[in-house]
Each structure stands twice: as C-alpha cells, then as structure tokens.
C-alpha cells in the first residue's frame, strides 16, 4: 500500500523525482537550495512511496515560519504534484494528513491547466492568471513583424535612447538590489522576494545557462535588469526591475524583447510570463500587448488552524493599503533581523 512520507531535501531521491511526469527544473535539488536561501526556509518533499520505498509521486514545498504561521508553499512557479495523475488522485486523502502531522498550519499549492491536481478537499481557491506566448515555429524576424505597433515603438524608444542589452555580472548585484528596492517602493509592496533569492538563482542556475541575467545599460550604467529561466522547451520570464528615473526610456520592453528572442534561439516552444493578480490590470495589459494569452493560475489554500487563518486574512487585508503595507514591511524586517 502506498503512503505519503515527509522527507527533508537531503532525504529525497531528486534524480528519481526528476524522472516523474511533470517534473521541471523547479522540482530539483538546485531549486530547493534556491528556495532555502531565498526564503530562509527548509524544503520538504511529500513523497508517495510504495512498500519497497520506490517513489511514485511527489509534492515539494518550502516550509517557512511567518510569525505564528508555519506555511508550506509549493515550489514556485510550478508548485503542483509530479507523477501520474491517476496515482496521485487515488492516494490524495492521506496527503493533507501528512502535512498536519508535520505541524504545518497552512498549505498553499499552485494549480495550472496542465497540472494533475486542481483542487484539494476543504481548500479555497484564489483565482489568478498567467500569460503564455506561443513561440512554436517562430523566427526572430517573424516575432518582430507580429508585434503590435506599440511594442515595436517602445523597443525603438529604448534603442534610440542609447540603451543596450548585455549579460549581467555577478559583482553588479548591489545595483540589481537597488533597482529591486525601487520596484517594491513603487508598488508599495508589503512583501516581496528579497535579494538573497536572486543571488541564489545566479549561484545555482547561471553557470550552465539555465538562468539568464540581462541588464539594459545607458552609457555603461545599468538602468534595468531581467531574469529568465530556461527549462525543457519553456522560458520563464521570472523578474524585471528598473530604476524609476529610467522608466520613460522603456528599458523593460527592450529587455523582454531580447529575452524572447534568446528563447527562440534556444528552441523554446513557449514563453511563460508567469502569474498576475486577476485585478492587476496594468501588469496584465503589459503582458498581453506582447501577444501572450491568458491561462489559469490558481492558488489553492488549505488551513489547519482557524485562528491563524483569521490573523493571516487580516494581515493580507491590511497589506492592500499603503500604511498597512509599510507596517508589514517593518515587521518582516524585524523578524529577519531576529533570525540573523
């Protein structure tokens, strides 16, 4: 009889997991190290094993402690199960019980249209969208001709301003982080992915070209940066940052065009612009102007503690307002300082 077991990252047979249906670079030992460094958490793998211990299916997640809440978050951006959908469905009831036994208060799973599990018993679903650009059979010339006029205009604005794109250097991370901070301030974000996460991506994935760090220069000075991750015929548009005083020069448009062109050169079938909030109209418009199409991207949440769920919902409501977001940023910095 198959059973779910909770394994630490060091206990997991990552080579076997990588051979299961649906596995990506985000279900790998390298990515688990990125998550542990970037989120100051620990990777756990819910492993479905048969009587002999053979791995049949798995769900990796990053365990983080946020105040009174222990959250197990499926590995972003592909935080669903790997393995046979039929095998997973037949053994799903024991999955949540294994999480509770490990002391998890809150489970968050990502569900896209091609994932084996789209919902969990007792879970609530937050609707988001992701955008995917089909690159199959496209050439760089055909890509450019197929752009909307405003896309070509914005790329030309950047080029006429003298912006050029080049690979980023490891020693440029202080400038990268400065741009990241400006983005968080512009968006009044209560939370956000911090500098250690991107440095970990570089250290784990950049050497073999899986991760692509590009910067847009003006007169030798970086004014914007982007991160792409390439895996199994898909390029993921993972992040983009720019200096506030350079936004009028459209550096992000030039970088995105360059990254898509590089994806075509790698033979990518798809360019995945990842998720957006369902009501984030500005970000959705930016992605759709490139010709990307909407796909489902749901966050399925299961709570195992009622009062913690109430406290979490209250904090997320407060984060919608600038003052509340500022308070939550302060609390987060205090918690991170205490851990250090």
Per-residue pLDDT of the chain (340 residues; tens, 9 = 90+): 899 999 999 999 999 999 999 999 999 999 999 999 999 999 999 999 999 999 999 999 999 998 899 999 999 889 999 999 999 999 998 999 999 999 999 999 999 998 999 999 999 999 899 999 999 999 999 999 999 999 999 999 999 999 999 999 999 999 999 999 998 888 765 456 888 999 999 999 999 999 999 999 999 999 999 999 999 999 999 989 999 999 999 999 999 999 999 999 999 999 999 998 888 888 899 999 999 999 989 999 999 999 999 988 888 777 776 666 665 555 555 555 555 5
Predicted pLDDT of residue 191: 52
Give pTM, 2 decimals.
0.90
pLDDT for 329: 57
CA atoms within 13 A on the CB side of 269: 3
* Identical fold, 3-126+299-339 and 137-268: yes
Domain spans of the chain?
A: 3-126+299-339, 137-268
Please check whether residue 326 is in contact with residue 120, taking contact to mean a CB–CB distance below 8 angstroms: no
Fold of 137-268: Aminopeptidase (3.40.630)
Q: At the top level of CATH, which class does the domain 3-126+299-339 belong to?
A: alpha beta
Sign of CA dihedral 141, 145, 148, 153: positive
Q: How far apart are CA 333 and CA 33, in angstroms?
A: 22
């Amino acid at each position: 009889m198959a059973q779910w077991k909770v394994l630490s990252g060091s206990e997991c047979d990552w080579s076997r997991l990588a051979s299961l249906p649906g596995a990506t670079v985000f279900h790998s030992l390298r990515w688990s190290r990125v998550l542990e460094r970037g989120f100051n958490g620990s990777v756990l793998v819910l492993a479905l094993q048969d009587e002999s211990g053979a791995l049949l299916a798995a769900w990796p997640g990053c365990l983080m402690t946020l105040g009174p809440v222990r959250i197990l978050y499926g590995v972003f951006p592909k935080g669903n199960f790997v393995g046979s959908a039929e095998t997973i469905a037949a053994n799903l009831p024991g999955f949540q019980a294994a999480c509770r036994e490990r002391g998890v208060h809150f489970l968050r799973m990502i569900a896209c249209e091609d994932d084996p599990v789209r919902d969990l018993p007792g879970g609530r679903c937050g609707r988001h969208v992701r955008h995917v650009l089909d690159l199959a059979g496209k050439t760089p010339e055909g890509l450019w001709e197929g752009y909307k006029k405003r896309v070509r205009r914005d790329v030309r604005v950047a080029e006429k301003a003298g912006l050029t794109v080049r690979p980023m250097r490891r020693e440029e991370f202080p400038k990268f982080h400065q741009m990241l901070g400006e983005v968080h301030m512009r968006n009044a974000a209560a939370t956000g992915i911090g500098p250690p996460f991107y440095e970990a991506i570089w250290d784990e994935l950049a050497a073999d070209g899986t991760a692509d760090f590009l910067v847009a220069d003006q007169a030798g000075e970086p004014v914007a940066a982007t991160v792409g991750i390439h895996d199994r015929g898909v390029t993921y548009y993972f992040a983009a940052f720019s200096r506030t005083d350079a936004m009028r020069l459209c550096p992000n448009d030039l970088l995105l065009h360059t990254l898509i062109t590089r994806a075509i050169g790698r033979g990518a079938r798809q360019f995945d612009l990842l998720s957006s909030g369902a009501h984030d109209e500005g970000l959705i418009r930016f992605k759709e102007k490139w010709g990307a199409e909407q796909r489902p991207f749901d966050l399925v949440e299961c709570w195992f503690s009622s009062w913690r769920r109430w406290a979490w919902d209250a904090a997320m409501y407060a984060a919608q307002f600038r003052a509340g977001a500022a308070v939550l940023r302060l609390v987060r910095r205090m918690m991170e300082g205490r851990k250090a």
